[in-house]
Chains A and B, each alone.
Chain A
């Protein structure tokens, strides 16, 4: 019995690791993270779009607003538009300045793909310097991770 114990243990550990790994994979396949809820309203004219933490890729809920924005820019041929990239206060300000530009660029690229002339769009990043909401919680942070569309 004494000699069996180490053997059992050596078998037990890889088995558990294997099962653990399987459970892990299964979990990510079966339960993907729920998509963020779509915004209640798509603003007529120019509206802002929002981003996930540390991401600059567009969310699914940004598409309808960006289509509306593209239509507005096409319909208002004399107005040029600035797209401002913003970040929440967390992390460090230099990195957020870079992340903000990427957010502005992802929104711009989508609008350009819909047919808007890139010459009519400018991008800028404000990083974490100009937050829209003052709070220090996820509700405020979610508001501050945005691409803000303004007429030049």
Chain B
């Protein structure tokens, strides 16, 4: 059984590796030229996002909406310095072929120009976009995006995703989701919204207390804690099929974290002792990971699933440790701060975000390299800041803060700065978790 397991798992990983890495390599080859000419860390990309061309009243209205969707989307990433298009940027003198005035672009300091046109055919929208390197007058991307009239956001964001990937060589946040807990209906339920706070949807309706939702890397399963059966219990829900597995017949379940698409780890107290276990999506136990008399909670895995950051009180007050899953070797990660909890492993694998409860009563978010170096404080002088979770591109962190009274979701750059409220409302928003999928 184990031999079979050993043979099958690497081949699955290899297949997965091909799926994920090869398309990335392709796009990296296409985009390499642009990325190569930009200096490393040279700041935001100076972009002119031009207004869309459109003929007809309805077309113009859709074009205006798409202009806003694309502008807001690109602005949200904070990867760009968005420059207003110069008046004479497009030369229409040749009616068959619109000419871009690159001199006008470089004079306003633009590095990249994106513009295009919108047409409509039998209820479908066609968005034709072209992206140019402004200094080299070189066409970087020419692509048509098609979708239904009511799906303007997806059409616009599909272009935004391509643009970010083209210019940075990395996957973007577009299409990703954030799951969180809100008390909007009077109970703590699980909700989801898009990466930018748009399109809030309620996912549970147990009229109880829900905690710590987390979506599997492939976006198919939702793990969360619910008090519905009278005690905090781990649930794993197949989001498409709707089947729900519950885990453990006694004790408490705490704070699930996905290792891969088929295994989620959580604290269970099956024998009275609180330990972290790996659980399959059908709710069956797969492995006990920690074995210590102390509190062990909040598993957060490295992207390859080989290492797990977690919180333990084995040295007294809670600190963050890293355990190698295969060998079981444990190393303490945090030494600064007396009460460190809520680890979140970056999708690039090199950093861990976590919270420190400080002596002055504030709770603040820090980022540290997985080898314990490079400690960086991201929040300060703003009350309690909790539950950090990385965006799938590693550029941003979603978290909650009570800086304006009630606990609400915020986003910021993963290097610090650009802190802003994600979602308006009178509700209490807690424990956000950013999905990896798009």
Contacts and interface: CB of A to CB of B under 8 A. Distances in A.
B41 interface: no
A101 interface: yes
Interface residues of A, number: 18
A97 interface: yes
Contacts of B70: none
Interface string A73-97: 0000000000000000011111101
Contact of A98 (B211, B227, B254, B272): B254
A107 B249 CA distance: 21
Interface string B229-260: 01110000000000000000001101100000
Interface string A110-144: 00000000000000111101000000000000000
Contacts of B432: none
Given A92-B342, A124-B231, A125-B252, A98 B355 contact: no
A94 B339 contact: no
Contacts of A126: 227
Contacts of A95: 295, 297-298, 311, 318, 341
A102 interface: yes
A54 interface: yes
A46 interface: no
Contact of A91 (B188, B341, B387, B430): B341
A97 B341 contact: no
The B contact surface, by secondary structure, is strand
A117 B39 CA distance: 71
B264 interface: no
A77 B232 CA distance: 28
Given A93-B430, A94-B254, A94-B297, A105 B231 contact: no
Nearest to A85: B252
B177 interface: no
A62 interface: no
Given A101-B251, A101-B269, A125-B252, A94 B357 contact: no
A94 B230 contact: no
A99 interface: yes
Interface in B324-382: 339, 341-342, 355, 357, 363
Given A93-B430, A94-B298, A105-B272, 9 more contacts: A90-B357, A92-B342, A94-B254, A94-B297, A95-B318, A97-B297, A99-B295, A101-B269, A129-B188
Interface of B: 188, 209, 211-212, 227, 230-232, 251-252, 254-255, 267, 269, 272, 274, 295, 297-298, 311, 317-318, 339, 341-342, 355, 357, 363, 386-387, 430-431
Interface of A: 54, 90-95, 97-99, 101-102, 105, 124-127, 129
Closest A-B pairs by Cβ, 9 of them: A94-B255, A98-B295, A124-B231, A92-B341, A101-B252, A125-B252, A97-B254, A95-B341, A129-B209
